[in-house]
Structure 1
Amino acid sequence: MATQADHKALNGLDSVQETLARLGVAEDADWMAVVLFARNLVSAMDIFTDDQKAQIQARIFEQMAKRPLDHRRFMGIVQNIQSFILENQRMEDMRAQLAAERQGFDALYVEMSRVFSEIQNSTVAREHRIKRLGADTEKDIVAAATPADVLSRLRGMITDMVSQAREEARTWQERAHQLEHTANFDPLLSELYSRRALDSQLSAALERCRRNNIPVSLLFLDVDRFKIINDTHGHQVGDGVLRVLAAILSAHAMQFSGYPARFGGEELVVLCEGLDEQRALAQAEEIRKDVARCPFVPHLTNPETVPPLHVTVSIGVAQIGPGQGASDLVLAADQAMYAAKSQGRNRVVGHSTLSTFRAT
């Protein structure tokens, strides 16, 4: 039975050594590691909310308050910690993000391989044309009646080669644009920038913010009950929902020069330069309304089997503050989004005051 002293020690009022001594494991390095992890490392883990941190600490302390503190109980606590860390929504989001990044890299690799092959073929063809020009020039010199005739024919050949080079240059310019799109845009939601491109743009935006003293805000969107959509109708329908949402988000972002991107999974963001939090809240509310009004019709072989879906989003909005970095802005917008979820979903919440534009 855990005593009041045990709970006092485990909750951090005593030193680590006093805690271990009270529990009868003063010289045990394994149990010292558990206490240090629960007190210090959990608090520093940004992937968890404060509630989740308190939950995992409570679980550890509850188990340590029991007797005996033997190897079996130690392994049980370790497994509990592993399960908590690996099986939570944040880790699922990170795995989805890694999968999306891997998909993007695969698409870029395929595209670049195709381009390199075309460059090689083009080089061979160009060398062949140059050799043919030399052979044709020799024939023209032999067959020509006058030097002027030779120059006329040579000028025609060179004009043809220049024309072919210009056409080739236009083709390579198009291929370069395609490569840039593949590198910077999400492989599934082609209207949205990738997470990699977002990170780069966010760093540049914050530098401009500091240099020119302009506001920078972030809209963080999450599809409400998206797992239910996937579980009920399948990932094909879920992907269709995300594509429609991406089109809505992209259309709105164009109106205020926002930078729409896929953050990971069903989480989408819009980076807003020149908008403070209040103006960004108003833009977010317009997005929320359009999503709620839009009939999401799944494009399937038998669409009549799935009626139009009513999809809503929760949106968190935050503005970068003095001395803050990119991760601070993302975390603040993410926290505001989770506040919108906890307040009933289908709403917009600003991080600074947690003021809510309630759904109507």
Structure 2
Amino acid sequence: MATSQEHKNPNGLEAVQETLARLGVAGDADWMALVLFARNLVSVMDLFTEDQKAQLQARVFEQMAKRPLDQRRFRHIVQHIQTFLLDNQKMSDLRSQLAAERQGFDALYEEMGKVFTEIQHSTQAREHKIQRMGAATEQDIAEAESPAEVLRRLRGMITDMVSQAREEARSWQERARQLEHTANFDPLLSELYSRRALDAQLSAAQERCRRSNTPMSLMFLDVDNFKTINDTHGHQVGDGVLRVLAAILSAHAMSFSGYAARFGGEELVILCEGLTEATAVARAEDIRQDVARCPFVPHLTSPETVPPLHVTVSIGVAQIGPGQNASDLVLAADQAMYAAKTQGRNRVVAHGSLTPSRTT
């Protein structure tokens, strides 16, 4: 039960002030902000694991236990916090995701630019063709021996124009499909939807499942030791691993109408409408086994040969619950995936099997 003192001072400000006074920096706003950040804000950062947050807090208070608490030490602690916040795997994944988004936008803008140029050229060509048709019609009228001959020639010109228009329409339909693919699919893993398309699909799927009262689950996959693969063999090999993995995921997703997408970096997801968490776990186990059995043979342009790599994935699975939204589902699946990593990798973990303390 909370004491009256805790009700009066929910953030422990008096305790913080007493600590600062004991350290000789009472009333210093900078140190007050630093302590409050370490005590209160760090604990609610969903971006990091509980172990990571505990390490940061311990590091901050360890440094504050040293003397003197001057501006030099303050800047040193702040620099450590900045490094922690910016130089970690999660932020690296976010930067990779932003880079992929920029690459996707660049590809889409380039494709749209080409389409607009082709539309302009096509319009100009059509106008010139109509002008030539008009001039040819006048000449036919002047040279024709009868009205029937004029109609025959005019009918032939119109037939040619209609045939060309149909061919042009088919070409524009294909270009429209190409634009749609560029907009919705990942630029590197062309078999998987992009993060932008996934976000839109999550919201739409949640509404569909709500109306039909059907379950919705999410598989969250991460390649085990992917950084080691990149560091040892290079990003070209790492990209090849992701492409093979994307093909496996896409094939499995098609078998149960799943929506396979790249979440960011080496993190991939499959959205499962109509599947409970238990059923999605069984499907995820099939994927895990197929990945573990698949020999990844790097295809390099250089003469250097790399032996087949045996890659594994950790998979977290979660089902959206009452009152939850798509963001809650992603967070739950992500937490389950990290639990799979913690438990030894190369395994599937259901969010429903986690204890409450590990899901906060």
* Residue 113 (structure 2) aligns with: 113
Structure 1 range deviating more: 58-67 or 178-187: 58-67
- Measure the CA separation in 1 of the matches of 2:173 and 2:163: 15
Task: For residue 305 of structure 1, give the secondary structure of its aligned residue in structure 2.
Answer: coil
Deviation of 1:262 after TM superposition, in Å, equals 0.6
Residue identity opposite 1:139 in structure 2 = Q
Task: For residue 84 of structure 2, give the secondary structure of its aligned residue in structure 1.
Answer: helix
Residue identity opposite 1:325 in structure 2 = N
Structure 1 range deviating more: 154-163 or 312-321: 154-163
The equivalences for 1:334-349 within 5 A come to: 334-349=334-349
* Residue 275 (structure 1) aligns with: 275
Flag the 1:304–1:72 CA change in 2: closer, same or farther, 3 A.
closer
* Residue 32 (structure 1) aligns with: 32
Residue identity opposite 1:88 in structure 2 = N
1:256 aligned onto 2:256 = yes
Deviation of 1:49 after TM superposition, in Å, equals 1.5
Aligned length: 346
Deviation of 1:16 after TM superposition, in Å, equals 3.7
1:136 aligned onto 2:136 = yes
Contact residue 252 and residue 287 of structure 1 kept, 8 A: yes
Deviations for 1:213-263, whole angstroms, at most 9, x for unmatched residues? 111111011111111111111111111111110000000000000000011
* Residue 97 (structure 1) aligns with: 97
Listed as ranges, the gaps of 5+ residues in structure 2 are 1-10, 356-360
- Measure the CA separation in 2 of the matches of 1:207 and 1:60: 44
Deviations for 1:46-98, whole angstroms, at most 9, x for unmatched residues? 21112211221111122223332211111111011111111111011111111
Deviation of 1:272 after TM superposition, in Å, equals 0.5
Deviation of 1:15 after TM superposition, in Å, equals 4.1
RMSD in angstroms over aligned alpha carbons? 1.8
Deviation of 1:316 after TM superposition, in Å, equals 0.5
* Residue 224 (structure 1) aligns with: 224
Contact residue 12 and residue 39 of structure 1 kept, 8 A: no
* Residue 247 (structure 2) aligns with: 247
* Residue 155 (structure 2) aligns with: 155
Task: For residue 162 of structure 1, give the secondary structure of its aligned residue in structure 2.
Answer: helix
- Measure the CA separation in 2 of the matches of 1:95 and 1:304: 30
Deviations for 1:11-66, whole angstroms, at most 9, x for unmatched residues? 95854434433433232111121122112222232211122112211111222233
Relative to the length of structure 1, the TM-score reads 0.92
* Residue 146 (structure 1) aligns with: 146
Residue identity opposite 1:243 in structure 2 = R
The percent of aligned pairs where both chains have the same amino acid is: 81
Deviations for 1:283-342, whole angstroms, at most 9, x for unmatched residues? 000000100111111112467721111111110001111111222111111111111111
- Measure the CA separation in 2 of the matches of 1:346 and 1:68: 47
The equivalences for 1:1-360 within 5 A come to: 14-301=14-301, 305-354=305-354
- Measure the CA separation in 2 of the matches of 1:210 and 1:31: 48
* Residue 3 (structure 1) aligns with: none
